[in-house]
């Protein structure tokens, strides 16, 4: 997809439909959507300085594991210190996902976010 903010809404709608079908509880679907949106928005803001670029969004459900990966081929600007205007995307992703990893290389950046589906019994426990 083009790293264009105008593309993110349609991707979010598609991801919403897919994530709902995975069997994640609705609270977890909302966490997935927010984390994935943050990762995609980070590509738009940080990956491509003075040029246009693209990114890939991959989502899969394998058993009880739901994984979303966002990959770009740009070079991220240094992360600013958190402020009221930004800098909280990656910490938010790490908070929302059960596991999150950011891998950066000369070829680009990949953000991998994973959620574990809760069993029906543990969903209501506590």
Phi/psi zone of residue 23: left (φ > 0), alpha (ψ -120 to 50 degrees), beta? left
- Pick from 67, 90, 86: which is nearest to 18 by CA? 67
**Percent over 70 (pLDDT), the chain:** 85
Spell out the domain ranges in the chain: 5-123
Q: Which residue in this structure is represented by tokens 């105008």?
A: 6
**Fold (CATH) for 5-123:** Heat Shock Protein 90 (3.30.565)
pTM, rounded to two decimals: 0.84
Please check whether residue 42 is in contact with residue 13, taking contact to mean a CB–CB distance below 8 angstroms: no
Which pLDDT tens digit goes with each residue over 41-55?
999 888 887 788 999
> What is the C-alpha separation between 22 and 95, in angstroms, rounded?
21
Which pLDDT tens digit goes with each residue over 20-32?
999 999 999 999 9
Band of residue 118 on the pLDDT scale cut at 50, 70, 90: confident
Q: Which residue in this structure is represented by tokens 């069993």?
A: 119
Q: Is residue 68 pLDDT above 50, yes or no? A: yes
């Amino acid at each position: 997809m083009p790293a264009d903010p105008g593309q993110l809404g349609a991707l979010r709608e598609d991801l919403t439909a897919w994530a709902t079908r995975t069997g994640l509880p609705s609270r977890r679907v909302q966490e997935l959507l927010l984390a994935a949106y943050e990762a995609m928005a980070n590509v738009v803001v940080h990956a491509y300085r003075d040029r246009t670029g693209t990114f890939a969004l991959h989502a899969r459900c394998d058993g009880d594991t739901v994984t979303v990966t966002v990959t770009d081929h740009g070079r991220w600007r240094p992360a600013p210190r958190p402020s009221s205007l930004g800098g909280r995307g990656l910490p938010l992703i790490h908070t929302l996902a059960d596991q999150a990893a950011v891998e950066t290389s000369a070829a680009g950046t990949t953000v991998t976010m994973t959620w574990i589906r809760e069993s029906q019994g543990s969903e209501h426990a506590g």
